């Protein structure tokens, strides 16, 4: 089997890359280890930056998002039982974000790919990458139901879009890699609940008992998160304990109330910051979570993945049309500039709002002072609003 661009992974990065290449007339094959149902149901991100929304529209994948996505013009910061709203358009010259779940973005891209695009193989697990720095990189893979037999996909370029646990990154020799990493002593316990969101915008709450986040999936489905100690298992918390704890952390001095409803999903997400440099090795290009992870507090992961593949699709198109590798050569450095801005913002939001197990009163006061600063200074508020609504994307060609 041979193709121009081999893509490992059908998460948002791999699917959008395939779509952008198809629109540019470049052939690709996507290999995905899981089945379609799994990819379409995996609960993850919920917030799309303006730039991500624009890219999905340009890629012809924005129709349902435009109908069902919820435009949000702000978020609320909650601390000391007080509420402070950040007004995105007013602070950023009109920018906002859109609540449209990653599951829905993936469903839309999968449907388009199967209808119009090149091969998208589910149940096709990449086992390893060979000759990444040669002229014809290869992926060895195994298809479900064909155990004991290996297939090989040979390509001109290879995109590693296989997430943090994938195989693509392992093809980059340690001698040329540099890894930057932080783990955090806490995790997020997330629930999905069949109840109308208790507020019309997201609420990020800092509390002495720990962080809490109120988000949503639709006008009738809430998504809520609680900071819990790293290593916590979701089963350790009953639904009632979760609601009680959310109520404590979201408490306000006014008459705001948390609505409770049936919990339909419960899971724990570990928190990590991670960057692999460079994001390119020979003809192998890493994109999305395969190259970098941010803690979810800033809602940047999916948006970074989109930025990477827009840059990569543009560079590959340029190389195919002109024969010049200049944009491919610049790929890693171009992406990393944006990646590090998001790493910095996600780290700041995380450490501002979470309570470390060993935090003392001094650190509590510093967090509150910073939140006060944001609430009372237009400059500090603007800094947050600009970062939250998104750093500039590479221009679409
Ligand atoms: P993905 O989504 O992990 O997709 C990788 C795909 O590769 C497949 N795969 C393989 N396929 C073939 N062979 C192999 N050997 C393979 N190994 C793996 C996997 O099955 C999978 O389908 O990576 P991608 O495409 O880079 O997308 C990244 C995003 O998924 C991620 O950054 C976001 O979900 C992060 N994130 C958030 N990002 C946001 O922008 N806004 C948010 O509000 C937001 N909230 C979140 C989040 C992530 C969370 N979790 C669970 C980590 C909230 C949470 C709770
Ligand atoms: C979500 O809705 O899942 C979500 C929203 C904002 C975040 C993280 C996750 O910062």
- Summarised one tens digit per residue, pLDDT across range 328-360 is 999 999 999 999 999 999 999 999 999 999 999
| Best probe residue, ligand 2, of 43, 47, 190 (max atoms within 8 Å of C-beta) | 47
Paired sense of beta strands 151-160 and 284-286, if any: parallel
CB 304 within 8 A of CB 334: no
Residue 88 · residue 73 · CB < 8 Å: yes
Tell me if 282 sits within 8 A of 243, measured CB to CB: no
Q: Which residue range is the domain that position 130 belongs to?
A: 2-180+271-389
Segment 101-115 shows an average pLDDT of 97
Collect all residues with Cβ–Cβ distance below 8 Å to 387 and sequence separation of at least 6. Answer: 298, 341, 345
Region 241-260: what's the mean pLDDT?
A: 97
* Chain segment 140-164, per-residue pLDDT in tens: 999 998 888 999 999 999 999 999 9
Three-point CA angle 27, 33, 37, nearest 5°: 100
- If you average pLDDT over residues 268-287, what whole number do you get? 97
CATH of the domain at 289: 3.50.50.60
Q: What does the pLDDT average to over 368-376?
A: 98
How many helices (H) and strands (E) the chain has is answered by: 11, 19
User: Which ligand is in closest contact with the Cα of 269?
Assistant: 1
276 is catalytic: no
**pLDDT tens digit sequence for 3-62:** 999 999 999 999 999 999 999 999 999 999 999 999 999 888 889 999 999 999 999 999
Instruction: Name 86's Cβ contacts closer than 8 Å, sequence gap at least 6.
Output: 74, 75, 76, 77, 374, 381, 384, 385, 388
What residues have CB less than 8 Å from 291, skipping those under 6 apart? Answer: 160, 169, 275, 276, 279, 308, 335, 339
Q: For this structure, is 204 an active site residue?
A: yes
Gap between the Cα atoms of 294 and 131, Å rounded:
30
Q: Which residues pair with 151 in a beta bridge?
A: 141
Does an H or E element contain 258, and which? none
Specify the residue with its C-alpha closest to ligand 1, atom 40. 302
- Structural domain contains residue 263: no
Ligand 2 probe mutation, 213, 345, 347, most atoms within 8 A of CB: 213
- Please indicate, yes or no, if residue 396 is contained in any of the structural domains: no
Total domain count, the chain:
1
- Please report the sign of the dihedral spanned by the C-alpha atoms of residue 255, residue 261, residue 265, residue 267: positive
170 vs 353: CA distance, rounded Å = 34
Stretch (H or E) spanning 227? strand 221-229
pLDDT band at 396 (very low <50, low <70, confident <90, very high): very low
> Above 60 in pLDDT, residue 397?
no
Give tens-digit pLDDT for 179-220. 999 999 999 999 999 999 999 999 999 999 999 999 999 999
| Ligand 1 proximity of 190 Cβ (cutoff 6 Å) | yes
CB 175 within 8 A of CB 266: no
266 within some domain: no
pLDDT at residue 147 in the model:
80
Residue 307, ligand 1, Cβ within 6 A: no
Assigned domain for 62 exists: yes
Q: Identify the helix (H) or strand (E) that includes residue 165.
A: none
The verdict on residue 137 lying in a domain is yes
Ligand 1 pocket, residue 167 CB under 6 Å: yes
Distance 347 CA to ligand 2 centre (A): 15
> Is there a domain that residue 290 lies in?
yes
For residue 211, tell me if it sits in a domain.
Answer: no
Is beta strand 28-31 parallel, antiparallel or unpaired with respect to 120-121?
parallel
Which one of the ligands is nearest to 388 CA?
Answer: 2
Predicted pLDDT at 44: 85
Q: Is 300 a catalytic residue?
A: yes
Please tell me the distance between residue 301's alpha carbon and the centre of ligand 1 in angstroms: 8
CA nearest ligand 1 atom 30, residue:
302
Cβ 207 vs Cβ 234: under 8 Å = no
**Catalytic pick from 296, 314, 331, 354?**
296
Does residue 39 contact residue 293 with C-beta atoms inside 8 Å? no
Q: Does the active-site annotation cover 173?
A: no
* pLDDT of 173 over the 60 cut: yes
Radius of gyration of the chain (CA): 21
Buried b (16+ CB within 10 A) or exposed e, 298-309: bbbbbbbbbbbb
Q: Output the CA torsion sign for 49, 55, 60, 61.
A: negative
Q: Which residues have CB under 8 Å from 151's CB, separation 6+?
A: 1, 124, 140, 141, 142, 143
38 catalytic? Reply is no
> Is residue 219 one of the residues assigned to a domain?
no
Mean pLDDT along residues 62-88: 97
**Model confidence at 265: pLDDT above 90:** yes
Structure letter (DSSP) for residue 45: -
Q: Of 42, 45, 298, which is best to mutate to test ligand 2, by the most ligand atoms within 8 angstroms of its C-beta?
A: 45
Q: Is the pLDDT of residue 394 over 80?
A: no
Mean pLDDT for the chain overall: 96
């Amino acid at each position: 089997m041979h193709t121009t661009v081999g893509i490992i992974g059908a998460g948002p990065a791999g699917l959008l890359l395939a779509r952008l290449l198809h629109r540019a007339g470049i052939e690709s094959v996507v290999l995905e280890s899981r089945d379609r149902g799994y990819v379409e149901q995996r609960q993850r991100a919920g917030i799309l930056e303006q730039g991500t929304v624009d890219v999905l529209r340009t890629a012809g994948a924005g129709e349902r998002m435009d109908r069902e996505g919820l435009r949000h013009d702000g978020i609320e910061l909650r601390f000391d039982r007080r509420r402070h709203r950040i007004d995105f358009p007013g602070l950023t010259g009109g920018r906002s974000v859109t609540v449209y779940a990653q599951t829905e973005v993936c469903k839309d891209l999968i449907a388009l790919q199967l209808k119009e695009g090149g091969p998208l193989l589910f149940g096709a697990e990449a086992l390893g990458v060979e000759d990444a720095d040669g002229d014809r990189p290869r992926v060895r893979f195994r298809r479900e139901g064909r155990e004991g037999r290996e297939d090989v996909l040979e390509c001109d370029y290879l995109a590693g879009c296989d997430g943090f646990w994938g195989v693509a990154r392992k093809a980059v020799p340690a001698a040329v890699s540099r890894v930057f990493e932080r783990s955090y002593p806490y995790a997020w316990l997330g629930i999905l609940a069949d109840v109308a969101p208790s507020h019309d915008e997201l609420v990020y709450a800092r509390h002495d008992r720990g962080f809490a986040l109120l988000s949503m999936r639709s006008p009738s489905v809430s998504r809520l998160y609680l900071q819990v100690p790293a290593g916590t298992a979701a089963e350790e918390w009953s639904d009632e304990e979760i609601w009680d704890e959310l109520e404590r952390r979201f408490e306000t001095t006014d008459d705001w109330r948390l609505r409770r409803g049936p919990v339909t999903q419960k899971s724990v997400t570990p928190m990590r910051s991670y960057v692999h440099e460079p994001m390119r090795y020979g003809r192998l290009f890493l994109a999305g979570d395969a190259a970098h992870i941010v803690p979810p507090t800033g809602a940047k992961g999916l948006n970074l993945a989109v930025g990477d593949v827009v840059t990569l699709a543009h560079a590959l198109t340029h190389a195919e049309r002109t024969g010049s590798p200049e944009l491919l050569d610049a790929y890693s450095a171009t992406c990393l500039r944006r990646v590090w801005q998001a790493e910095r913002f996600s780290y700041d939001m995380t450490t501002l709002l979470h309570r470390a197990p060993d935090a003392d009163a001094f650190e509590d006061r510093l967090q509150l002072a910073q939140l006060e600063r944001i609430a009372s200074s237009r400059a500090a508020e603007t800094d947050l609003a600009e970062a939250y609504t998104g750093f500039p994307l590479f221009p679409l060609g």
